[in-house]
Amino acid sequence: MPNSSHAPAIPHRQPASGTAADDSQQQPGQQPTRRLPQVEQLLQQPFLAGFIEMLSRPLVTQAVRETLSELRQSEDFRQHGVAPEQIEALIAKRCQQQLRQRQTRVINATGTLVHTNLGRSPLSADLWDEVRDLNTGYNNLELDLATGKRGGRKGLIAPLLRCLTQAEDSLVVNNNAASLFLLLQEVAKEREVIVSRGEQIQIGGGFRIPDILALSGAKLVEVGTTNITTAKDYLDAITDQTALVLMVHRSNFAIRGFTESPDIGEVARALPEHVVLAVDQGSGLTIEEFAPDETSVRQYIKAGADLVCYSGDKLLGGPQSGIISGRSDLIKRLEKHPMMRTFRPSRIVYSLLERLLIHKLNKSPVGEGIAQRTLSNPAAMEARADQLMAALPGYFVSVPAQLVVGGGTLPDEFYPAPALECTDPRPAQQLLDALRELPVPVIATVRQQKVLLNMATLLPAEMELLIAQLKELLLPAPFNATNATEEP
């Protein structure tokens, strides 16, 4: 079986039940013993070599010791002993459980492009290759090559973002939650922040807008209702203690029906000079044509927002990071904040983001994020479905499905996408588990008790591997004439 991870050979991931490690019955030919081997003796056994390389010797040593300790405390072991093969199986099972916690490549067949549990937005392989030398050697991250003295970290990022968003200046932090927190700390600590009741969102992991305001030291002032907030609501709430009006993108839900939200330009024009207008745009949308119903960073800046914070991956297509774009005087204040050093990203993020922005401005395919690449080429999804069905005839049926961008980007947008429904007779949950147990796990979904592989999120480079793994999982074992003639 192809294995793209180039990992050493290890015992195949064991099924959830029915394994030798789960079976207390001794197999024929095994000789039970009440004398357990020494830890070092077991660590020298070939069956642990692959685990040591992938987990480290200390973690495997811990697994060996824990297994031996459990055996010593087992009444069954004290009465009957244990076969050496069973000791090995128990240790291997424990190592396999550890191995599943290791970061590993997976194949996304869920139909969610920016999948938080699967690493969010995958980077372009060409982009990754382009910055390899910048990150495996030294670079001029904080060196001004003209003077030989210490320089800033941003490089070309600020002028590139100025071209892309029309913002005067920008800074980069490690994620968009940090963007918002830093903004609130610097601009609104111990002062009032006005937020619509319909925009006090909570996203995954318990991130709540009211909680972030409280932690930053800002004081929340709620205005409007869940479904209707007007410009007058914002203006009526302003006092001499108001520092900020914060408008938040509804990242994971939509409100329909009797609703009203003010035009940001109307709010911007009416605000007094001492009040900053900030927008948590979130998704990093910079190409209006890609999602015409969403407001891009550039549109917010043009409408009068003083600061806009957004993600560097998601719809932008770069590494996971947070970006704040807006007025130069405010950006300079944020850069001097003591927390900025806590939030600043590594050179890997800076190099990837800088090169991405160059490609994006040059309209190169390397500058396209996963959502733009996928949605601009629906024929490629159909081609992947045809390729899979041709390789495994009779094992899949093409059915209509949908893809979502995900990641808190376009919560009300669903796009048509082909999916393949597996005809394997096994129960859906059993098959779903088996797909996750493959050497390169395949993450699928279930609909109406059938396993679905959504073609939208499969990457072209992984199709050959996916087909090979599915053949091994689904096709019957080759007929073996020798086994067929053996006595039961």
Task: Say yes or no: 383 and 237 in one domain.
Answer: no
- The verdict on residue 156 lying in a domain is yes
Would 488 be classed as within a structural domain?
Answer: no
Residue 486 lies in a domain: no
- Evaluate whether residue 166 is within a structural domain: yes
Residue 480 lies in a domain: no
Contact 17, 488 (CB under 8 A): no
Q: Are residues 92 and 30 in the same domain?
A: yes
Residue 226: predicted pLDDT: 81
Question: Which CATH number characterizes residue 201's domain?
Answer: 3.40.640.10
Domain shared by 354 and 381, yes or no: no
Same domain, 333 and 389: no
**pLDDT attached to residue 61:** 98
Average pLDDT per 10 consecutive residues for the chain, totaling 488 residues: 41 39 45 83 96 97 96 87 92 95 95 93 95 96 93 92 97 94 95 92 76 92 89 93 92 69 90 95 81 87 96 93 97 96 95 97 94 91 97 96 88 89 96 96 96 96 97 77 43
The pLDDT of residue 9: 40
Closest by CA position to 385, among listed 484, 448, 451, 467: 467
* Domain shared by 441 and 467, yes or no: yes
3-class DSSP assignment, residue 404: strand
Considering the domain architecture, whether residues 111 and 98 belong to the same structural domain is answered as: no
> Strand 450-454 vs strand 445-447: parallel, antiparallel, or unpaired?
antiparallel
Global pTM reads 0.85
Give the DSSP H or E segment for 322.
strand 322-326
Question: Rounded to an integer, what is the distance from CA 318 to the centroid of its chain?
Answer: 12
Residue 6 in domain: no
Q: Could you give the 3-state DSSP secondary structure of residue 212? A: helix
| Domain match, 82 and 223 both | no
What is the SS3 assignment for 214-254? Answer: HHHCCEEEEECCCCECCHHHHHHCCCCCEEEEEEECCCCCC
What are the Cα distances from residue 214, in Å, to 134, 176, 206, 218, 377? 39, 17, 14, 6, 44
Question: Residue 192 is encoded by which pair of tokens?
Answer: 């009032």
Pair 236, 326 in one domain: yes
pLDDT of the residue at 411: 76
Asked whether residue 234 is domain-assigned, the answer is yes
Whether residues 244 and 261 share a domain: the answer is yes
User: Which residues form the domain of 142?
Assistant: 123-366
Give how many domains the chain has, as a whole number.
3
Residues 72, 213, single domain; the answer is no
Whether residue 329 is found in the same domain as residue 382: no
pLDDT of residue 225: 87
Q: Of the candidates 306, 338, 366, which is a domain's last residue?
A: 366
Q: In CATH, what number is assigned to the domain containing residue 381?
A: 3.90.1150.180
Task: Report the alpha-carbon distance of residue 327 to residue 170 in Å, rounded.
Answer: 8
What pLDDT does residue 485 have? 43
What's the pLDDT at 8? Answer: 41
- Which domain-ending residue is among 346, 366, 386? 366
Pair 165, 209 in one domain? yes
Which of residues 318, 351, 366 is at a domain's end? 366
Residue 80 in any domain: the answer is: yes
- Give the per-residue pLDDT at 27: 46
CA separation for the pair 134, 475 (Å, rounded): 45
